[in-house]
Structure 1
């Protein structure tokens, strides 16, 4: 299954050493640059934590970084809804059915699900 990780490349590399997965970490600037190559994890750098950050203990820097990873992940679909990203104008369309989250507005263009089918 293709995936992109948002995290700290250094922390991910140290975790890889600990568990011995031997995965290659490939830094990417955005999701649309992911290659999804087997044995490689595409990583969007969400922080640059220090190498000496202690493992297994609470640390405010790690907590703040984790918050930012989640926040950045939440904002990825938002970028696509607003047209920032790799979607073309032809792929954006207003939602026309009444059950859509925001009918007829640009905010739902790329994520608008197909209209419900009637039986």
Structure 2
């Protein structure tokens, strides 16, 4: 049987590998594993030093779980808000949208436009 440290490490690795497309079911499944490992930590580990080290791993696993859950919730909220904005824009085509489309005519420009004009002026073009 694998040690608690290895299993906490696996849970931490799995939480760090989650991307923005992770579901709450995946996070809750990992959370249940962490709770089971916490129970084993409380009931089976008697050595104080080992308990301290495993408690630090447990705290890190819980922090990553909360962070992953927050990321999923934030991504879902942003996606829902984008859908609401799109529906509103379709229902009210004459009203200007507070959040314009992501495509922009000035996408290639970085910095000040006059800097680009000044740079191009001395690239062999006399204007």
TM-score, normalised to structure 1's length? Answer: 0.31
| Bigger fraction of residues in helix | 2
| Bigger fraction of residues in strand | 1
Q: Using CA pairs under 8 Å that are at least 6 residues apart, name the structure with larger relative contact order, 1 or 2.
A: 2
TM-score, normalised to structure 2's length? Answer: 0.29
